Amino acid sequence: MPKKTTDIAVAEPRPKSAEDSEQVTKTKRAERQPRSAPSHRSANARLRKRALQTKDLLVSTAKALFLEYGYAATTIDNIADAAAVSRASFYTYFSSKMEIMIVAGTDARDTSCALLKQLGEIDSGNLQAGIETWIDKYFRFLERDGGYILTWQQAALKDPALRKLGMEGSQRASRVLAEALQQLGARGSQSDLLIRSLALRSMLDRFWYHWWLTVTPHERQDVLRNLATMILATISI
């Protein structure tokens, strides 16, 4: 059973000035913000090979259960049982269900941003073919992690902390893609490029959902060619 703790009220020192008062307010506000990087002691710990394998197993098991049953319906006991570890072992690596959701989501977002950055590295001498190859890579990433990203979005509807983290991750991805578009020659203000990058990401993600998950009968090469042409048009605006 969890250990009981006794709360002891400790009075805060009275701020000595308006500047001190403002700093106290900022500190309290920061402490209330959800953290995108897990704060559990295993997050930055150096794990041995077997421990790392167990942690990775818990993440992959949780992802599978979230996809099958949804975030809200999946419990820590479900994750531990499916991974064949004890509940105590789960807490060795993660402090909560939300933390394991964040770890998996952070991995997916990092992979996504790395792919978005690669768009700006395409050879300008053959943009059409290069963008088609890039879209194919991005779709293969979605084929692996897209279902989990959709699960995060569904969970975030009822969880303000996950929703805030998702928004921050989306803004980061838009900045990366905006820079990639600029490297390919896209013109416009920073705001213009961010708007286009958000629209482009939304188009690719939703198209993949309707094409891949609902099995819309379009050949992959035709899909890549048409989407690459649309991206080229975005760059030339």
> 193-209, pLDDT tens digit by residue?
999 999 999 999 999 99
Query: What is the predicted pLDDT for the residue at 10?
Result: 36
Sequence-distant (≥ 6) Cβ neighbours of residue 162 within 8 angstroms: 34, 98, 101, 102, 152, 155, 156
Q: Which CATH class is domain 102-235?
A: mainly alpha
| Residue 161 C-beta-side C-alpha neighbours within 13 Å | 13
Buried b (16+ CB within 10 A) or exposed e, 149-158: bebbeebbee
Low-confidence ranges of the chain (pLDDT < 70): 1-47
Give domain limits for the chain.
Answer: 49-93, 102-235
| Residue 49 C-beta-side C-alpha neighbours within 13 Å | 0
Query: What is the predicted pLDDT for the residue at 44?
Result: 52
* CATH fold match for the domains 49-93 and 102-235: no
Query: What is the predicted pLDDT for the residue at 174?
Result: 96
Query: What is the predicted pLDDT for the residue at 137?
Result: 97
Query: What is the predicted pLDDT for the residue at 46?
Result: 58
* CATH code, residues 49-93: 1.10.10.60
